[in-house]
Amino acid sequence: MGFYIGRRLLQMIPVFVGATLLIYAMVFLLPGDPIAALFGDKPVNPGVAAQLRAQYHLDQPFLIQYLLFLKGVFTLDLGNTFSGQPVIDVMARAFPVTIRLTVVAIIVEAVLGIVVGLLAGLRRGGWFDSLSLFASLLVIAVPIFVIGFVARYVFAEKLQWIKASVGPDPTWGQLIIPGIVLGSVSFAYVLRLTRNSVAENLTADHVRTATAKGLTPGRVLSVHVLRNSLIPVVTFLGTDVGGLMAGAVVTEGIFNIPGVGGTLYQAIIRTEGATVVAFVTVLVVIYLVVNLLVDLLYAVLDPRIRYV
Amino acid sequence: MSDTTVRPGQEHFVAPLEETPLRAVDAVDDSAPPSSQWGEAWRQLRRRPLFWASVVLIALVVVVAAVPSLFTSTDPRFQTLADSLGDPREGHPFGFTRLGEDVYARTIYGARASVVVGLLSTVIVTIVGGVVGAVAGYYGGIWDALLSRISDIFFAVPLVLGAIVLITSLQSRSTLTVSLVLSLFAWPQTARIMRGSVLQTRSAEFVTAARALGLSRVQVLVRHVVPNALGPVIVIATISLGTFIAAEATLSYLGVGLPSSIVSWGGDISAAQTSLRSAPQVLFWPAGALSITVLSFIMLGDVVRDALDPKARTR
């Protein structure tokens, strides 16, 4: 087990370096001068520009810039935004909000998706199955920003349950509706995965054996059907964490939540390279760690899987 | 066999023929030509109403995208501010946008951007992902390690996020650049699926047979492995076509997708959000068109998956 985790951690290194290099190249190698953009419509003062360039290492060759950035990542010095705040402070404000939003979304999609998917899979071809499959297709097909507008319109403007603009330091209660919107598409995928997986496992030999040896239906269902059916679902939830945090760009924009998505989007539009790269790096690390955890969870769900 | 008397305790129970599935076995015409995986799938598909429904919808959207002038003679870019957010009236069945453009004409003309981006991205992703996955799965070893790590790198960056970062650095935006950017972050999924599928096919007996008959490795890969491993890739291609259309709309909604000179559903939905309260129809029609298009591709992918999967053939 320890050896397996060590090997996986080693495998993460090239992916981490590759992904950050990719993002770094996309932000800094492509045309467009962020320093010139900083001056806006005013004429560029060459002295100030040169000083800023030196401060952000923009005068160095690309690879040196990248290596300096990597050094910064490991010493937790991610540079400053163009307005002078340390990027790490901006992160400390944005990440707690988005993590809360993502937790709401994951709870919604995992709990609701697995329960509805289980009920649908148990009666495959029944009316509940058809209804939930159709509903899930609808949720996947309608773009998330349309779901967001409609939710904001209904819950904030018509029913007045929530404020249309969430603002800084949101409470859990304020994040419920945005969290449901964020998790809605993944909810549909979890539902369909669970449903297919349960329907397939119901006809498996080990389930027939479990029933034949006289186990109660509840135990057959929870231990023999559901536990085995959860493996693809857990895989999906793992890869989805990164997607949810990125999807927050849209959801946070609609409900005006000052989280990772909103901050990152502003930084991209203003070509604040340091902020963009730092945020995306953290998102990539979160993605890699969650996927490692998911692989370790397999062994818990399926005792046949042993890591050596 | 001379003694046919059955002594007590020695009876053998034989089920009557009509209670056994043997008749069905006997009824199989083994002189008939063997049906291929695709022939079998097509026979399944033909009977599904959902298949025909999605095919008809997709055909309709493609025709609208190819020749929008068949469906409306109104210019989608013609603005009459006097009609700003105007209600539907004779000749303008869906009403007007904030800028006084005809919503019906814009919904019709918006189809092209979505369909082109969806098709282009899917073709690029399927070719790149298919080739990478096939090489990684078939040759294994160093090729597999290298290609799998590279796809891991692109897979670790979320699709919409990577697309936003890259696209804001680009000087010109068109349907082609948007498709390329989406493809850059989407091919690893297809590559993984192709790799898995090739790994399964590689160990099949007919592959060994083909090698034994003297075909080269490349010939075996192209003629025997790839055609038999293609099923899951086609399913994911159909489904992701819908996803690409939705992703393009998301980019346009965020203001980093297609420029406003190109009529697109995503851009129209984005523009409509400010008038949601006073004129919901301005949001409803482009959003509805987008949803139905995405829905038909996902439905098609679903029924094709069922048809290709022998385990799902219970009916």
Residues of A near B (Cβ–Cβ under 8 Å) read: 11, 14-16, 18-19, 22-23, 26-27, 30-32, 137-138, 140-146, 149, 153, 157, 200, 242-243, 245-247, 249-250, 253, 264-265, 268-269, 271, 276, 280, 283-284, 287-288
Mean per-residue pLDDT of chain A? 82
Nearest by CB to B287, from A146, A200, A283: name it.
Answer: A146
Q: Helices B103-139 and B49-66, interaxial angle, to 10°?
A: 120
- The pTM assigned to this predicted structure is 0.81
Q: Token match 């070893």: residue? A: B141
Whether the predicted pLDDT of B312 surpasses 60: no
Whether the predicted pLDDT of A39 surpasses 70: no
Burial A29-65 (b: 16+ CB within 10 A, else e): eeeeebbeebeeeeeeeeeebeebeeebbbeeeeeeb
Residue-wise pLDDT for A41-57, tens only, equals 677 777 777 777 777 67
Q: Is the complex ipTM more than 0.90?
A: no
Residue-wise pLDDT for A238-265, tens only, equals 888 877 887 788 888 888 888 888 888 8
Residues of B near A (Cβ–Cβ under 8 Å) read: 149-150, 152-154, 156-162, 164-166, 168-171, 242, 246, 249-250, 253-254, 256, 266, 269-270, 273, 276-277, 283, 287, 290-292, 294-295, 298-299, 302, 311
**Which stretch of A107-121, B87-101, B155-169 has the lowest confidence by average pLDDT?**
B87-101
Q: How confident is the model at residue A281 (pLDDT cuts 50, 70, 90)?
A: confident
In this structure, are residues A192 and B299 in contact, taking their beta carbons and an 8 Å threshold? no
Q: How confident is the model at residue B32 (pLDDT cuts 50, 70, 90)?
A: confident
Residue-wise pLDDT for A151-196, tens only, equals 888 887 777 777 767 777 777 878 888 899 999 988 998 998 898 8
Whether the predicted pLDDT of B314 surpasses 50: no
Whether the predicted pLDDT of A294 surpasses 60: yes
Whether residue B165 and residue A246 make contact (CB cut-off 8 A), yes or no, is: no
Task: Report the candidate in B287, B289, B258, B242 with the shortest Cα–Cα distance to residue B113.
Answer: B258
Task: Report the candidate in B233, B302, B59 with the shortest Cα–Cα distance to residue A134.
Answer: B302
Whether the predicted pLDDT of B73 surpasses 80: no
**Which stretch of B85-89, B185-189, B296-300 has the lowest confidence by average pLDDT?**
B85-89
Comparison of pLDDT for A177 and A65, the residue scoring more: A177
Whether the predicted pLDDT of B307 surpasses 50: yes
Q: Which residues touch A269 (CB under 8 Å, ≥6 apart)?
A: B168, B256
Measured in whole angstroms, the distance separating CA B29 from the mean position of its chain's CA atoms is: 35
What's the gap in Å between the CA of A304 and the closest CA on chain B?
20
Pair of tokens at residue B90: 């004779």
Nearest by CB to B169, from A30, A141, A287: name it.
Answer: A30
pLDDT at res. B315: 38
In percent, the amount of chain B with pLDDT more than 70 equals 94
Domains, in order of start, for chain B: 54-77+96-312 (1.10.3720.10)
Mean pLDDT of B63-81: 79
Distance between CA A28 and CA A273 in Å, rounded? 7
Q: How confident is the model at residue B156 (pLDDT cuts 50, 70, 90)?
A: confident
Mean pLDDT of B125-143: 92
- Per DSSP, the residues of B116-164 read HHHHHHHHHHHHHHHHHHHHHHHH-HHHHHHHHHHHHHHHTS-HHHHHH
pLDDT at res. B311: 58
Pair of tokens at residue A73: 């990542």
Q: Which residues pair with B92 in a beta bridge?
A: B89
Measured in whole angstroms, the distance separating CA A20 from the mean position of its chain's CA atoms is: 17
In this structure, are residues B111 and B67 in contact, taking their beta carbons and an 8 Å threshold? no
pLDDT at res. B2: 52
Nearest by CB to A246, from B160, B283, B291: name it.
Answer: B160
Distance between CA B65 and CA B53 in Å, rounded? 18
Whether the predicted pLDDT of B101 surpasses 70: yes
Whether the predicted pLDDT of A308 surpasses 60: no
Helix (H) or strand (E) holding B272: helix B265-272
